[in-house]
């Protein structure tokens, strides 16, 4: 244990002298500023709705819509309505002809589905207004604590995945390569210290860095609403995985340039799931099987809890297993290319 604390102390001194650490910290701070001050909370593009009533009763209906907090704009003539809509590509319009008939004015690019949906919606509102019937809406996600995640906060999980799984992986790999190039790993290999302790020290180092960056980013962006126990668990196992892969990679080569192609491939594979995060429909099974995919959603769940904690448990188990397996392989392999 005495030996291990010396190893860790050495690694801490080395990392404090590594410019890579400062790049990482700089990114974390840059990211925090970006989320809090640059990216808007809501970037969904609102569709404008233009309405024209051609009969007296219709204006009451429009007032009712407005009470429902619908952002609609009332106009005075068909010409005016057409003019506004031509200038605003992302808009729809409807004209209340009389209490039997409603005319829709569409841009022409809307598909059948959208049209039907629109028709149904407005029909609903009419009925609601005239008959005062309650229309009950049932959402599939039944939990009523579901809140809408502001857009700027919704990218925090991506950053948290990048930290241990991507940046940390390379940080650890560069540290091992630097020990190989300086030959210090050879000096260590002729002491009674074991290679496994050498490797585990790097893992612990990455866990410490992962925690620092996690708390820094999570506290300043999401605040205290997040579940920090879960966050810590994902970061812990994610760091074990990240360092395991980094150590395994560096055990195969004697310098970083020989390993470059693999570093790039691993980086690309691990960041593929980011695409699915923004386009949830794009998630083929292959991408779902990449561990950063489930890490992403586990972080999301821990940051914005919905009660679906099974994804967190599964992710921790998955990344922990990958981490341990890669570490065991790294330990078997590292002596081959000191």
Partner 1 sequence: MIKVNGLYHSYSNDDNYAVKNASFQIEKGEIFGFLGPSGAGKSTAQKILTGLLIMQQGDYTIDGKFVDFKKRDYFNKIGVSFEHPNVYKKLTGLENLEFHSGMYDVKTEDPMNLLRMVGLEEAAGKKASDYSKGMLQRLVFARAMINNPEIWFLDEPTSGLDPTTASRIKDIIKRKKEDGTTVFLTTHNMYIADELCDKVAFINEGEINIIDTPKNLKLKYGKKLVTVEYYDNDRIVNNTFSIVDEAERTKLNEIINKGNIATMHSQEATLEQIFIKVTGRGLE
User: What does the binding site for partner 1 look like in residue numbers (CB under 8 A)?
Assistant: 2-3, 5-7, 9-10, 13-14, 17-18, 182-184, 186-194, 338
DSSP state of 187: H
Residue 74 region by backbone torsions, left for phi larger than 0, else alpha for psi between -120 and 50, else beta: beta
Q: Which is nearer to partner 1, 201 or 235 (CB)?
A: 201
* Cα angle for residues 309, 280, 36 (degrees, 5° grid): 75
Rounded to whole angstroms, how far apart are CA atoms 179 and 195?
A: 13
The CB-of-190 to partner 1 minimum distance in angstroms stands at: 4
Helices and strands in the chain: count of H runs, count of E runs: 16, 4
48 with 91: CB under 8 angstroms? yes
Q: Which is nearer to partner 1, 184 or 289 (CB)?
A: 184
The CB-of-203 to partner 1 minimum distance in angstroms stands at: 18
The CB-of-337 to partner 1 minimum distance in angstroms stands at: 11
The CB-of-184 to partner 1 minimum distance in angstroms stands at: 5
Q: Which is nearer to partner 1, 175 or 240 (CB)?
A: 175
Rounded to whole angstroms, how far apart are CA atoms 322 and 300?
A: 21
Residue with structure tokens 């820094």?
216
Q: Which is nearer to partner 1, 6 or 225 (CB)?
A: 6
The CB-of-240 to partner 1 minimum distance in angstroms stands at: 24
Rounded to whole angstroms, how far apart are CA atoms 206 and 171?
A: 8
Phi, psi of 10 (to 5 degrees): -60, -45
The CB-of-209 to partner 1 minimum distance in angstroms stands at: 17
The CB-of-253 to partner 1 minimum distance in angstroms stands at: 17
Q: Which is nearer to partner 1, 183 or 223 (CB)?
A: 183
DSSP, collapsed to helix, strand or coil, labels residue 53 as: strand
Q: Which is nearer to partner 1, 103 or 181 (CB)?
A: 181
Q: Which is nearer to partner 1, 6 or 115 (CB)?
A: 6
Query: What's the full length of the chain, in residues?
Result: 338
* CB neighbour list of residue 230: distance below 8 Å, 6 or more residues apart: 298, 301, 302, 305, 309, 312
Rounded to whole angstroms, how far apart are CA atoms 219 and 255?
A: 38
* CB neighbour list of residue 127: distance below 8 Å, 6 or more residues apart: 133, 135
Q: Which is nearer to partner 1, 108 or 192 (CB)?
A: 192
244 with 277: CB under 8 angstroms? no
The CB-of-237 to partner 1 minimum distance in angstroms stands at: 29
């Amino acid at each position: 244990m005495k030996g291990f604390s010396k190893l860790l102390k050495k690694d801490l001194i080395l990392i404090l002298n590594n410019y890579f650490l400062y790049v990482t910290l700089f990114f974390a701070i840059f990211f925090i500023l970006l989320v809090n001050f640059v990216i808007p909370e809501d970037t969904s593009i609102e569709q404008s709705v233009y309405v024209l009533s051609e009969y007296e009763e219709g204006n009451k209906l429009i007032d009712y819509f407005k009470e429902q907090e619908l952002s609609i704009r009332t106009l005075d003539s068909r010409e005016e309505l057409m003019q506004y809509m031509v200038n605003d590509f992302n808009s729809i319009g409807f004209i209340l002809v009389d209490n039997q008939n409603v005319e829709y004015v569409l841009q022409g690019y809307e598909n059948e589905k959208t049209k039907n949906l629109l028709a149904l919606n407005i029909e609903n509102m009419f009925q609601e207004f005239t008959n005062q019937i309650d229309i009950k809406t049932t959402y599939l996600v039944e939990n009523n604590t579901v809140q809408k995640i502001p857009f700027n906060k919704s990218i925090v999980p991506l950053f948290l995945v990048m930290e241990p799984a991507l940046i940390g992986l390379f940080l650890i790999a560069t540290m091992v390569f630097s020990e190989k190039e300086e030959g210090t790993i050879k000096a260590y290999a002729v002491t009674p210290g074991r290679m496994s302790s050498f490797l585990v020290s790097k893992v612990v180092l990455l866990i410490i860095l992962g925690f620092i960056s996690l708390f820094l980013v999570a506290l300043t962006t999401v605040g205290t609403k997040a579940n920090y126990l879960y966050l810590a668990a994902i970061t812990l196992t994610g760091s074990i995985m990240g360092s395991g892969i980094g150590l395994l990679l560096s055990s195969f080569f004697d310098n970083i340039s020989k390993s470059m192609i693999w570093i790039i491939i691993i980086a690309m594979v691990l960041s593929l799931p980011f695409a699915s995060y923004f386009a949830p429909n794009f998630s083929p099974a292959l991408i779902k099987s990449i561990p950063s995919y489930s890490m992403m959603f586990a972080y999301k769940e821990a940051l914005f809890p919905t009660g679906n904690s099974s994804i967190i448990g599964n992710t921790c188990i998955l990344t922990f297993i990958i981490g341990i397996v890669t570490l065991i392989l790294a330990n078997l392999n590292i002596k081959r290319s000191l």
